[in-house]
Amino acid sequence: MWFKNLKIFRLTDHWAQHIETLGDALLAHAFNPPEDLQASTTGWVPPREADDRLAVSISGQYLLAFRIEKKLLPASVVNQTVKTRAQTIEAEQGYTPGRKQLRDLKESVTDELLPRAFSVARDVRVWIDPVAKWLVIDAASAAQSDEVLSALGRSLYPYPVEPLKLGQSPSALMTGWLLDGQPPEGFSIDGDSQWQASGDQAASIRYVRHDLPEPTIQSHVQDGYQCVRLALTWQDRISFVLTDTGDIKRLSALDVLQERAHDSLTQTAEERFESDFTLMSAELVKLFDDLLPLFTEEPS
């Protein structure tokens, strides 16, 4: 149930007018399976089984799910089929097919193969905290996050979401923590980090499970590198990787939270789902309170 890759946004004051009608607003753009000639389709789906609501409210928090389904039609398959048929056409007409003829042939082959292509679906979950005014998308890439935000824009007007305002550079802060050997209070630095040099063809250095000695850190900084990803642990409860854009990657609840989440063997699947979501949202709000002001507030 826990989110793994967090793209974090702020809710604006416009959110208040959408609370009561959120499910109905999403219904207008609910997911429908792709038709034969559709390469992909998207839409909102119920975020949990045995519940047809598109917006689930649990302990005052909201959970949504956005499905992205695409048909797998490798370009190599299309190109090989086009090549074979082009050779047949050339033999029949006595000359090589022209550019327009090949383009039309490729479109025809694609339309023919799409209905037989396999489909792959991925559900991107969205957590909304109307009290602390967070909107968090569990997306591994900016492209997935952008699709979700665009879908919200089609469903909700006025638009109630805005990006985080970075008052300070996360890269500069992470580099400073490593140089000083002193992370913020409540956090510890783990062994994974990535360093990026400036410039159009910037070099990158990545360390995995490797605590950097002070001379290495100083050498990287002198050579023009900054830390763009850093593994951290918060309060011995949650481990994650912070990026230079303020995103959180590879989030993991540690043993103390896992024990709390599964302390009852008598819970039903539905009760466990609600318990996990409630625990996750409560812990992440505390994490955000400690972490995000470090780079969203202007330096004093």
For residues 86 and 149, which has the higher predicted lDDT (pLDDT)?
149
At 296, list the tokens. Answer: 């969203």
Q: Which residues contact 144 (CB under 8 A, 6 or more apart)?
A: 68, 122, 124, 137
At 187, list the tokens. Answer: 């956090």
Residue pLDDT, tens place only, 136-193 = 999 999 999 999 999 999 999 999 999 999 999 999 999 999 999 999 999 999 999 9
For 188, 240, 248, 289, the CA distances from 231, given in Å and listed in that order, are 9, 6, 10, 18
Does residue 78 have a pLDDT over 80? no
pLDDT of residue 88: 81
Q: Residue 137 is inside which H or E element, if any?
A: strand 134-138
When pLDDT is cut at 50, 70 and 90, the band that residue 268 belongs to is: confident
Q: Where are the domains of the chain?
A: 6-71+118-163, 75-115, 170-296
For residues 254 and 74, which has the higher predicted lDDT (pLDDT)?
254
Does residue 264 have a pLDDT over 60? no
Instruction: Find out whether 226 and 173 touch, Cβ atoms under 8 Å.
Output: no
Give me the DSSP letters along 32-93.
Answer: -PPPTT-SEEEEEE-SSTT---SSEEETTEEEEEEEEEEEE--HHHHHHHHHHHHHHHHHHH
In this prediction, residues 20-42 reach a mean pLDDT of: 85
Burial class for 170, CB neighbours closer than 10 Å (0-12, 13-18, 19+): buried
Does residue 223 have a pLDDT over 60? yes
Instruction: Find out whether 71 and 54 touch, Cβ atoms under 8 Å.
Output: no
CA pair distance 231, 7, nearest whole angstrom: 16
CA pair distance 296, 8, nearest whole angstrom: 12
pTM here?
A: 0.85
Burial class for 50, CB neighbours closer than 10 Å (0-12, 13-18, 19+): exposed
Largest CA distance in the chain: 78
What DSSP designation does 23 have?
H
Q: Which residues pair with 135 in a beta bridge?
A: 9, 128
